[in-house]
Amino acid sequence: MAGMSCLSRIGARFSFDAFVMRCIVPRQAHCGLIDGDIDLSLRDFSGMPGLVRSASLTNYADVAVKVGLDPYRLLSEFGLPQRCLREQELKVPIDAVRCLLEASAERGGVEAFGLLMAETRRLSNLGPLGLLMREQPTLRLAVEALARYANRLNEALFLTIEDAGDVVVLREELVVGGSGSVRQSTELAIGVAFRVLKTLLGPEWKPRRVCFAHDAPADRSVHARVFGRIVEFGHDFNGIVCARKDLEAPNPNADPMMARYAQGLVEADYAGKAQDITSQVRQLVVTLLSTGNCTIDLAAQHLGVTRRTIHRHLSEEGKTFSEIVDGVRRELAARYLADKRRTLAEVSSLLGFSAPSGFSRWYRRQFGEAASEKRALGPRRNR
């Protein structure tokens, strides 16, 4: 089965079931990119230790205590300062946070640990950006505001908008710059995104589906409480499937004057936090890979510059386009191959290769072994 890809905003018209269940993959498609904080601001600076805002740990202590853990002892074990639970703007190592969440879920015996953290998040946790989103005339514009500014906070969480007929899919991908499970971080991100949408659309709103690529937990009660009965596991992507009309409905409480005020707050808050070219290119690579058309020329087109300009700026930062593509592919390849339900053909497509043979040659060059030797193919996923 081909993997989910970014769908064209214009001209891509597939039925909901065909889109979600069969995951049609149009080549050379275009999609709207969102690199959003969603209060899970995982950052990965190339050439530097990956950092994350301590705001990502909002509600961590409460959930840890509830499941019988000592949050401060766990923070110390993973080298995190206790004050990161009080101060939201500290920068702490991303891998430490990822490991903390995974260890907390395992030791607490609660597979939905990250989702429990998301359950009580508020739009206000996003700061001025949350205010700006709240005052937009439609939810679609609120999401576009997130796309415009949230990448200043997060360079590892990628949320793309994919249009398909009468539905819109908010698809999530985490590229944290390292190996290891991201189940808790993924559920935290999707859970907070769901909370933000529900806050903006009202308590009665429900998406068409909430999809996770990982296996279902033994106990689904937390997922049922948070999402209702529309959550699916073992899917081909992580994300939220919404009705287009819900996102385009007017926001009767939007205040244009307050929106302008919030815009000023956001711009002041993010002043001087512009992304370097490596981060911008990496952001595009994550989005374009599965379209099968991830080239430096297309990246230059998205950024509004020439390929020579990208070459020059990347060189100044000690990077090349090929190195960035290979780095993203290595992390995603390790994650996809660990999922024994995916065929090598699926993994090849998700990583942007036109044929499995190309993927196999690339994998052997990168890892010194055949992808087929990495793991035996497992059974197909059950939804």
The domain locations on the chain are 7-125+153-255, 277-374
Residue-level pLDDT at 8: 33
Q: So what's the pLDDT on residue 197?
A: 87
Residues 2 and 29 sit within 8 Å (Cβ to Cβ) = no
Question: What mean pLDDT, rounded, does the chain reach?
Answer: 80
More confident residue, 34 or 148: 148
pLDDT of residue 71: 96
CA proximity to 189, closest of 101, 309, 261: 101
**What are the beta bridge partners of residue 231?**
210
pLDDT at 101 over 90: yes
Lowest mean pLDDT, pick from 57-61, 75-79, 80-84, 144-148: 144-148
Q: Of 43-52, 76-85, 340-349, which one has max mean pLDDT?
A: 76-85
Q: Bigger pLDDT: 338 or 322?
A: 322
Tell whether the model's pLDDT for residue 48 goes beyond 70.
no
H-helix segments, the chain: 16-17, 60-66, 71-77, 94-108, 113-118, 128-134, 139-149, 183-201, 221-227, 244-248, 256-269, 277-288, 296-303, 307-316, 321-338, 344-350, 356-367, 371-374
**Is pLDDT of 287 > 90?**
no
Give CA 104 to chain center in angstroms: 21
Average pLDDT on 206-224 reads 94
Q: Which CATH superfamily is domain 277-374 in?
A: Homeodomain-like (1.10.10.60)
Structure tokens at 319: 């990077």
Q: What is the mean pLDDT of residues 209-213?
A: 95
Give residue 5's pLDDT band: very low, low, confident or very high (50, 70, 90).
very low
Is residue 231 pLDDT above 90, yes or no? yes
Element (H, E) at 33: strand 32-34
User: Rounded to 5 degrees, what are φ and ψ at 155?
Assistant: -120, 15
Which band of pLDDT confidence, cut at 50, 70 and 90, is reported for residue 230?
Answer: very high
377 CB-near residues (< 8 Å, 6+ apart): 340, 343, 344
pTM of the model: 0.76
158-167 confidence digits (pLDDT tens): 878 888 889 9
Q: Is the pLDDT of residue 209 over 60?
A: yes
Of 7, 34, 22, the C-alpha closest to 167 is: 7
User: By mean pLDDT, which of 66-75, 105-114, 141-150, 307-316 is the weakest?
Assistant: 141-150
Residues in the chain: 383
Would the pLDDT of 33 be above 70? no
**C-beta separation of 87 from 81 below 8 A:** no
Q: Taking residues 97-123, what's their average pLDDT? A: 94
Where does the pLDDT of residue 14 fall: very low under 50, low under 70, confident under 90, or very high at 90 and above?
very low
